[in-house]
């Protein structure tokens, strides 16, 4: 099982959801690791992915699952400018090839949203094309989520990739009209894309729901 996981915006809950999925896979006896090609600001998210992945001594090192790291909490483009370090796309591909040779189950977590710039001419979506994986979109379930989700799904499809599922993340206990109605709206707009929900504070996800996403519902899913 391999997916590329993006978000509708920064802080949508990509790492939180990815860790839940990794833990579910490993608990089911399916050794899985996370891969964070680009990380900006600090490596807390990378460390969480590492902890949620395989726990044996043969597991990957931090640098193996995060080949590109910038210290500034900025978009990769500007973080690279600040560090005067060019974007290392070849380094990402080399790290990916090494990881996929060892593990069957890999969840790749993007940085920021789908169109966050990594160079002057490329975005995170272009990096995702290199992996060619079906894409899961973590949706920050709040007012504005519908607009962000539509733009993200259209961006995924424009690059010839399949949006395999939408995962609505509830970052707060409090509910409002938008967070209550967004799931129904997205199911109506994208009937061919499964919509899952992760409630605030949830510590487990149903692995069968994730497995159901493995096959497209229709050729346009």
CB contact at 8 A, 186 and 146: yes
Annotated catalytic residue: which of 30, 36, 94, 102?
A: 36
Closest CA to 3 of 151, 183, 137: 137
Instruction: Identify whether 102 is a catalytic site residue.
Output: no
Closest CA to 142 of 115, 169, 103: 169
Provide the phi-psi class of 182: left if phi over 0, else alpha when psi is between -120 and 50, else beta.
Answer: alpha
Cα–Cα–Cα angle for 103, 204, 18, rounded to 5 degrees: 45
The Cβ of residue 22 has, within 10 Å, a number of other Cβ atoms equal to 26
- Cα gap 131→111, rounded to integer Å: 15
Tokens 């733009």 belong to: 151
Q: CA distances (Å), 193 to each of 169, 173, 210, 218, 220, in order? A: 16, 26, 12, 9, 9
Bridge partners for 106 per DSSP: 2, 33
- Cα gap 136→201, rounded to integer Å: 20
Rounded to the nearest 10°, the torsion over CA 125, 129, 131, 132 is 120
* Positions marked catalytic: 36
């Amino acid at each position: 099982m391999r997916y590329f996981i993006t978000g509708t915006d920064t802080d949508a809950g990509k790492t939180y959801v990815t860790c839940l999925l990794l833990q579910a896979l490993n608990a089911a006896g399916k050794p899985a690791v996370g891969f964070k090609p680009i990380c900006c600001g600090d490596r807390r998210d990378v460390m969480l992915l590492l902890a949620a992945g395989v726990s044996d001594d043969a597991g990957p090192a931090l640098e193996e699952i995060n080949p590109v790291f910038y210290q500034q909490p900025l978009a990769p483009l500007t973080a690279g400018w600040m560090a005067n370090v060019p974007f290392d796309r070849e380094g990402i591909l080399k790290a990916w090839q090494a990881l996929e040779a060892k593990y069957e189950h890999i969840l790749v977590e993007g940085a920021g949203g789908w169109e966050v710039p990594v160079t002057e001419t490329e975005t995170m979506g272009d990096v995702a094309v290199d992996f060619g994986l079906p894409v899961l979109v973590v949706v920050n379930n709040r007012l504005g989520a519908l607009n962000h989700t539509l733009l993200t799904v259209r961006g995924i499809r424009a690059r010839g990739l399949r949006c395999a599922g939408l995962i609505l993340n509830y970052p707060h206990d409090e509910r409002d009209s938008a967070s209550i109605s967004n799931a129904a709206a997205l199911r109506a707009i994208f009937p061919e894309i499964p919509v899952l929900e992760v409630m605030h504070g949830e510590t487990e996800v149903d692995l069968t729901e994730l497995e159901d996403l493995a096959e497209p519902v229709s050729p346009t899913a």
